Amino acid sequence: MKLGCAVWCFTAPQYQAPYEPAIHTIGKMGFDTIELIAHNQKDVDVYYTNEKIRELRHLIASYGMELSQFAIYTELTQGLSSINEEIREEALNNFEKMVKIGYELGTGMINMVSNWVNGYECQVQYLPNYWSPFLGGGAFAELTQNMKMPEDYDGEIIWKEYIQTIQRCVDICKKYGMRFNIEGHANVIVGNSDAMLRMFDSISDPALGINLDVAWHMIQREYIPMVIEKLGKKIFHVHMRDGDGIGNYGLPPGRGINNWEDTFASLKKVGFDGSVSFELSHYMEPEKVIGDAQQFVKKVMEKIL
């Protein structure tokens, strides 16, 4: 099991390129693995040039790190959940561009958060944060508003089309010799462990798995060790954040209610040997906060593993 950190833990604004300063910081902290991201279309079309990719690969390798996965941000993939075939095809073409970037960066895995249903109206921009408008960038006056479903919503058709699209995403990743993982957030199509199991009933491909985001499963009232036992070897990667199961605060491990000893015991039991990666943002002293969490997790790993 390897200890990693997402590059956007050290970017300001969050997720924004350039990523080199964050790579230096993470490398100097002694992490085994690092994650990079395509946050917006400018990243895809402008930032990740062939020259930049070579520079990033060399920089990551200079610290003895591996790129555990290449993440694709939601705004770049939302067309995948459209029931409009033309929109889906455009999204799939762009998805392949980003998979190719990940391949050229040298990772063996692509990550994306499952999409929500297109057409929802909500008081916050990031729909999974609907349950907490304060954390999602809303205002008190907006609490009187409700999430509104699209008038033409048909859950059966949406699920069928989305599963077919996810299979095509898996096929694209396999074309480049890569694996693909889905991350579950609240209010998305494949959000919790039960929806994930249903997805695997439809897609049994060994190249499809899960990025287990601890905080998002907690928010959906799931006990993390139980989620791990349910999903087993389908867990390809882990994002470590803590919380109280109410708000998505992105607390450092050890500062919330998650049982980290049982979490690592369950990971050991199911034979997980991938990367457990910090995803913590918006801290005034990120090196101190993540450094403290790094030491906490190392102690837990030494005790359990």
| Residues 211-226: tens digit of each pLDDT | 999 999 999 999 999 9
Reply yes or no on whether the pLDDT at 193 is more than 90: yes
DSSP 76: G
Listing DSSP states for 53-104 in one string gives HHHHHHHHHHTT-EEEEEEE-GGGTGGGG-S-HHHHHHHHHHHHHHHHHHHH
What global pTM score does this model have? 0.94
Q: In this predicted structure, what is the pLDDT of residue 133? A: 52
Q: Tokens at residue 33, please?
A: 């693995």
First to last CA, the chain: 9
Q: In this predicted structure, what is the pLDDT of residue 6? A: 98
- The mean per-residue pLDDT over the stretch 143-160 comes to 80
Domain ranges of the chain: 2-117+153-304
Q: Which of 90-99, 152-161, 249-258 has the highest mean pLDDT?
A: 90-99
Contact 251, 221 (CB under 8 A): no
**Which residues, at least 6 apart from 101, have a Cβ–Cβ distance to it below 8 Å?**
38, 44, 48, 53, 70
Q: In this predicted structure, what is the pLDDT of residue 151? A: 82
Taking every pair of C-alpha atoms in the chain, what is the biggest distance, in angstroms?
53
Q: How confident is the model at residue 124 (pLDDT cuts 50, 70, 90)?
A: confident
Q: Tokens at residue 113, please?
A: 């958060």
pLDDT in tens, 244-260: 888 777 899 999 999 99
- The mean per-residue pLDDT over the stretch 276-298 comes to 96
Closest CA to 43 of 78, 77, 76: 76
CATH superfamily of 2-117+153-304: Divalent-metal-dependent TIM barrel enzymes (3.20.20.150)
Q: Range with the lowest mean pLDDT among 150-159, 233-242, 295-304?
A: 150-159
| Count, residues in the chain | 305
